[in-house]
Amino acid sequence: MCVEKKVMVEIFGEQYPLITDGDEAHIRRLAAIVDQKVREIARKSTNLSGQRLGVLAALQIAEEYSQMKKDYDDLVAMLDRKR
């Protein structure tokens, strides 16, 4: 049985209440990744709003995910060819 719980996370100085039935530690790790990306972008671009920083962080995370998925798919295809 999944029990939903509220997890408070902080991203770029803002508190966000998240409702999840997942692992609280996992949610906190994800929030830390987002916080780190937003802060990296903020250091490079000091004049952007929080909303724009969030969108740019989301795009960077999506790009990293896309590249990792491509690498994974390529690896699986290579392993399939060797069978």
| Rg of the chain in Å (alpha carbons) | 17
Q: Taking the model in full, what pTM does it have? A: 0.84
Write out pLDDT tens, residues 20-56.
999 999 999 999 999 999 999 999 988 999 999 999 9
HEC readout, 3-68: CCEEEEEEECCEEEEEEECCCHHHHHHHHHHHHHHHHHHHHHCCCCCHHHHHHHHHHHHHHHHHHH
**What integer pLDDT is reported at residue 46 of this predicted model?**
82
How many domains would you assign to the chain? 1
Which residue range forms the structural domain that includes residue 57? Answer: 5-82
Checking if the pLDDT of 1 tops 90, the result is: no
Please report, rounded to a whole number, the percentage of residues in the chain having pLDDT higher than 90.
90
User: pLDDT band for position 2 (50/70/90)?
Assistant: confident
